[in-house]
Structure 1
Amino acid sequence: MLNPNFISGAINSLVPISRFNKGEANKIFEEVRESGFKIVLKNNIPTCVLLTPEAYEQMLETMENYRLLVEAENRLENAKGADFVPSEQAMQELGISEAELKEVEVELE
């Protein structure tokens, strides 16, 4: 059975385009700021989605992270033993010492 909160949220996210024609754009934009998004209907068909800038940025970041995940999985799936280099060899080729690595501060997100 569908969650009643989900159904209520979905219904509340719908905005008929006629509300824009009635001069309610500012009110709709405030609703978008409060809820994060609205789906605009034209002739009862979803026409566009209004998002807050934060929701849009989050969506783009999620899509980029997914693209990178797929790329990494494909690389691992197609990798051969010869594709890998021991860290000691890579550090030597790049001229990096163990002491230099210990001095570097790394911040992970």
Structure 2
Amino acid sequence: MDTIRGAIENTVSISQFNKGLAGRVFEEVKRCGAKVVMKNNMAECVLMSPAEYVRLMDEVNDARLTAEAATRMAHFDPAALLSQQQVDEALGFTPADYADTSEVEFE
């Protein structure tokens, strides 16, 4: 029952926009969260605050990064790692090249 009630309370007809009630709809979005805009009895779009949109996009991005990390860890082979010395030799770096990097943070 809560699902039906939520669906009814969180939908708005496109005709409300056509009747000049967009301001009221936007206030409801700010106060209550997202609204589904219906057009010809079909969901047309979802209205939400910019902050909520950014939060959702951050969550999606975090999920993608977590999935990528899990994939990489599933194929992790410690035997394939290179030591710092091996990388330095391959790229021609010497300890002097790192002398002025004490303020640099690596993540």
TM-score interval (norm. to shorter) = 0.7 to 0.9
* Higher Cα Rg, which structure: 2
TM-score (norm 2): 0.73
**What CA deviation, in whole Å up to 9, does each residue of 1:25-79 have, x standing for no partner?**
0000001001121000110111111011111011110011001001101101111
Measure the CA separation in 2 of the matches of 1:83 and 1:46. Answer: 51
Alignment counterpart, residue 57 of structure 1, candidates 54, 59, 69? 54
Q: Which residue in the other structure is 2:76 paired with?
A: 79
The runs of at least 4 aligned residues of structure 1 exceeding 6 Å deviation read none
User: Where does the alignment leave 5 or more consecutive residues of structure 2 unmatched?
Assistant: 89-94
- Aligned-partner residue type, residue 51 of structure 1: M
Is 1:22 the counterpart of 2:19? The answer is yes
Structure 2: how far apart are the matches of 1:48 and 1:28?
Answer: 13
Q: Name which of 10, 32, 38 aligns with 1:35.
A: 32
Number of aligned residue pairs: 94
Structure 1: state its 5+ residue gaps.
105-109
| Percent identity over paired residues | 37
Q: CA deviation at 1:5?
A: 2.6
Alpha-carbon distance between aligned partners in 2 of 1:64 and 1:30, rounded to the nearest angstrom: 28
Q: Are residue 48 (structure 1) and residue 6 (structure 2) matched?
A: no
